[in-house]
Structure 1
Amino acid sequence: MKEINFNINYTHYEHLEELETQDRELCEQAIAALETSYSPYSAFKVGTAIRLDNEQIVLGSNQENVAYPSGLCAERVALFSIGVSHPNAVVKSMAITAKTERFEITRPITSCGGCLQVMAEVEQKQGSPIEVLFYCLGGEILKVKGIQSLLPFVFVEDRLLGAS
């Protein structure tokens, strides 16, 4: 038997003003994406902004549906949109934020497991990591370089692609 430990590396920022201009812009675009959230059931709005290798920014927001689980998270809305509209683009970075009128959000929200899996597959497809900014409105930001830090046991099965 062997016990193995792993570390999660991230950068912590206290305020939006501490970020480099491109990262700050991405967080501001994620805030703008909140306005397109359709979340009448949870009242929990999530917005994401994704920067592509050509510097274009693609937005996504969570979309709920009364027939659970027919809705979709903001991250997957944006990533699947990129898959359709920009199939050969490389995702460089993304920012995710949330707001609700029901309670105060005091720390950055992070992506669900399903979104992390999709993000990991995008990384695998493009052969490069994605920088992710988790932004708490008016507060701290966590910056992660690559999904491996968030999902160390990502599901990868090359045989499904026909590889042996």
Structure 2
Amino acid sequence: MKKLTIETVLEVFDSVSELPQNIQTLMHKAQQAREKAYAPYSRFKVGAALQLENGEIVLGNNQENAAFPSGLCAERTAVFYAGATYPGVTISNIALTVRSLTHIVDTPTPPCGACRQALAEYEVNQKSPMTIYFMGETGKIVKAASVKDLLPLIFDSTFLHE
């Protein structure tokens, strides 16, 4: 029997001020988007900001619905908008931030599984990695150099056809 070893290396920053200037700006835009989230059920607001290779910044936030699971996460809202509005334009960086209306979130909060899968689809299609920065409301920020660092055994179209 063979064993498979998977290793992920993530960078951790102590504060937003340690990030490169363009990523600080991106994170601030994600924070602004977060505050516009519609999250009356979970009371957990998420903001996303995507930096595209053409210089555009696309925002998204979670949009909930009483008919679960009809809502949509911030990451997928942003990436689907980017795909619809700027088809074929590479997503370079993603900034994510969360805030609970019931408690302080000071732990970096990564994308959920469904969002990781959606992001993986775009990363595979664009044939270049997306750097993802994620944080809670306050505290440390984690940097993943690629979606593959968060979802190393991705399921993509190569499994669907020969």
CA distance in 2, matches of 1:77, 1:133: 17
CA distance in 1, matches of 2:30, 2:89: 19
CA contact (8 A) 1:98 1:136 kept: yes
Q: For structure 2, which runs of at least 5 residues remain unmatched after alignment?
A: none
Q: TM-score, normalised by structure 2?
A: 0.96
1:85 aligns with 2:122: no
Q: Which residue of 2 aligns with 1:2?
A: 2
CA distance in 1, matches of 2:58, 2:82: 7
Which of 93-102 and 130-139 deviates more? 130-139
CA-based RMSD of the aligned residues comes to: 1.1
Runs of 4+ in 1 over 6 A off after TM superposition: none
CA distance in 2, matches of 1:53, 1:156: 23
Letter in 1 for 2:154: V
Q: Which residue of 1 aligns with 2:143?
A: 143
Letter in 2 for 1:139: G
Letter in 1 for 2:37: S
Q: Which residue of 1 aligns with 2:127?
A: 127
Describe the SS at the equivalent of 2:12: strand
Q: TM-score, normalised by structure 1?
A: 0.95
Q: Which residue of 1 aligns with 2:40?
A: 40
Q: What are the superposed Cα offsets for residues 40-76 of structure 1, whole Å, 9 maximum, x if unpaired?
A: 1111000000000011100000000000000000000
Q: For structure 1, which runs of at least 5 residues remain unmatched after alignment?
A: none
- Give the total of aligned pairs: 162
Query: Percent same amino acid among aligned pairs?
Result: 38
Aligned pairs (5 A) from 1:1-164: 1-158=1-158, 160=160, 163-164=161-162
CA contact (8 A) 1:27 1:135 kept: no
